[in-house]
Amino acid sequence: MLLEENKFISLNEVEGKVMITIHKPGYPLKEFEKILHRNPRIKIPNFIELKKALISEELADFEVGLFLPSIELEYTNDLMSAHIIVHETIEYYDEYEMNLNKRVNLLLRENGIVHGIQDIILKEMKTSKPYTIAKGTPPQKGADAKIKYLERPERKPIIDEEGKADYFDMNFILEINKDDWLGEKLEAQEGVPGTNVKGDSIPALKGKDLNLKYDSKSVYEIEELGKSVLRAQMNGVLDIQDGRIMVHKHLPINGDVGVETGNLKFDGSISITGTVISGFSVIASGDISIESSDGVFHAKHIQSVHGDIYIRGGIFGKGESLVEAGGSIFVKHSNESILSANKDIHIGYYALGSTIRANSVFVNELKGKIIGGRAEAINVITTAYSGNHLERKTDLIVHGINRQALQNEVKIKAVELREIQEEIYSFEKKVTQLQLMLGKMSPQQIGVYEESKRLLEEKQKLSSQLDRDIQQILVTLRTPDECEIRVTKEAHAGTNIQVGSKTKSLNHVTSGVFKIENGVLNV
């Protein structure tokens, strides 16, 4: 089929190939490009060979290119999209629009394209450029599982406009009754299948599943109305540790801890409506709440091993009272007391002549005071005033995080935890085997069984404690290095400021944020 002819050349299509005949050498390449523009179906793979042919003195025929189909169909490997490529001029489109539609539809049928076929919009088509003619329907992933838990009220005093901390309404302990709702999970949903351009179904992904996190000894899981629901196994108080919801045993004391109760030691949380009388102690594994607005006078020892401590009325320690928390301490004021917390210490009004140690120490930044004594933190100390006009010696110390030491501690504890877990596995196997023989055991074998159970419980408690320690260290390592002391109103002379290894004793009244800048303490 003759495609083009002039006094220099003839172009013919022969079985899908473009052949050139040279009548006269020297046909300009730019003129040949005009031929290509008029004939989009001509494809020249190698213009260097074409240039050689145009200047050749030989009059024989040369193969210079391919003669493309009028319309081509392509589709993606995933069969989610199909394209047509029309190797014709715009004028061709206008003149043969009806013919174009028929040919495209035929091409689609021949190739099994049956889904998501698009209308042809001529003004959007371009010569020899892909045009989307069919689109698959992608599958829709199912909704992820959704989890919600009963929220524990935030343990943070409200500061009013006058700078007063309201420690009288903290909802510190949330009591739980047996079978109370604690949380639930809506299961992950199935997705909606998709369809590719050939009509094949595409499976949909199910939504991501999530696990409810809870303490199986105090919380149970039950199926209700298509949801997994968490409920309390017993009466107690709500707690959340390492992201797991749990119910602690609760010992309510209606009145004071003193002669009538004796010293208290309890595996759970304790709430006391009164106070702790001078010389008496309260030790609990969970939270401790002391509600008396009169405060605590000269108590010997108040300790929460894993939880928080709340003393509504403050504490008068006479230099002897020790308050320790595995979590945080919330107290109205501290007078000649020793406070130590693995997390933070929040003080509403003042700390007078006290020794304070915590991750961070927050004394009301509008009116709070640290006068005398020693406050130590890893990250931050915040107060409105430090010392007094009598220049009472007051130490404010922020150490910063020793990351290398903490990382080494995590490694050591992780090895210890693995060893304990291996021992737990061995004890669990032994206890399970012995349980099968319970009805046939001799007194000696029963003794071995009871001792194995006791050791298993000890190992499990130790494992839980190690895991908590590791998680707490990891939280600390993720904490940014703030390492600063903030005195918002007045830091009096007699205040010693220490950040890291840098120390400065103030000899005049100042205020601000004290930290290391370019290796120097900015006091």
152 burial class (0-12, 13-18, 19+ CB within 10 angstroms)?
A: middle
78-94 pLDDT tens trace = 999 999 998 887 777 66
State the pLDDT at residue 339: 97
Q: Rounded to whole angstroms, how far apart are CA atoms 68 and 91?
A: 18
State the pLDDT at residue 206: 87
First to last CA, the chain: 93
- Which residues does 77 contact at the CB level (< 8 Å), separation at least 6? none
Domain ranges (residues) in the chain: 2-67, 71-135, 146-246, 263-400+482-521, 403-478
Band of residue 305 on the pLDDT scale cut at 50, 70, 90: very high
Average pLDDT over the chain reads 87
Contacts 24+ apart (CB under 8 A), 495-504: 495/386, 495/387, 495/394, 495/395, 495/396, 496/393, 496/394, 496/395, 496/396, 496/397, 497/396, 497/521, 497/523, 498/395, 498/396, 498/397, 498/398, 499/398, 499/400, 500/398, 500/399, 500/400
Q: Looking at the predicted structure, is the pLDDT value of residue 3 above 70?
A: yes
Q: Which of 108-117, 252-261, 271-280, 425-434 has the lowest mean pLDDT?
A: 425-434
Which phi-psi region, left, alpha or beta, contains residue 242 (left: φ > 0; alpha: ψ -120 to 50)? left
State the pLDDT at residue 99: 80
Q: What is the pTM of this model?
A: 0.61
Provide the b/e sequence for 54-72 (b: ≥16 CB within 10 Å).
beeeeeeebebbebbebbe
- Contact between 173 and 236 under an 8 Å Cβ cutoff? The reply is no
**Residue 375 neighbours by CB distance under 10 Å:** 26
Grouping H, G, I as helix, E, B as strand and the rest as coil, residue 369 is strand
Tokens of 309: 């401590």
Mean pLDDT on 437-451: 80
- Contact between 192 and 204 under an 8 Å Cβ cutoff? The reply is yes
State the pLDDT at residue 168: 45
Decide which of 174 and 181 is more confident. 181
- Contact between 458 and 472 under an 8 Å Cβ cutoff? The reply is no
- Which residues does 492 contact at the CB level (< 8 Å), separation at least 6? 385, 386, 387, 388, 389, 391, 392, 394, 506, 509
Tokens of 49: 């060979």
Q: Which of 35-44, 71-80, 91-100, 493-502 has the lowest mean pLDDT?
A: 91-100
Residue whose pair of structure tokens reads 């308050």 in the numeric block: 323
- Contact between 212 and 230 under an 8 Å Cβ cutoff? The reply is yes
- Contact between 204 and 245 under an 8 Å Cβ cutoff? The reply is no
Share of the chain above pLDDT 70, in %: 95
Number of helical (H) and strand (E) elements in the chain, helices listed first: 6, 40
Question: Of the segments 143-147, 352-356, 413-417, which one has the largest average pLDDT value?
Answer: 352-356
Band of residue 404 on the pLDDT scale cut at 50, 70, 90: confident
Q: Minimal CA–CA distance to 193: which of 182, 184, 205, 209?
A: 205
User: Strands (DSSP E) along 181-328, which ranges?
Assistant: 181-186, 194-195, 201-202, 219-224, 227-232, 236-241, 244-248, 250-253, 264-266, 269-272, 281-284, 288-290, 296-297, 301-304, 309-311, 315-316, 322-325
Residue-wise DSSP of 298-338: S-SEEEESSS-EEETT-EE-TTT-EEEESS-EEEEEEES-E
486-510 pLDDT tens trace = 999 999 999 999 998 899 999 999 9
Q: Looking at the predicted structure, is the pLDDT value of residue 393 above 70?
A: yes
State the pLDDT at residue 49: 78
State the pLDDT at residue 167: 47
State the pLDDT at residue 465: 83
State the pLDDT at residue 362: 95
Share of the chain above pLDDT 90, in %: 45
State the pLDDT at residue 121: 83
Q: Which of 141-150, 193-202, 468-477 has the lowest mean pLDDT?
A: 468-477
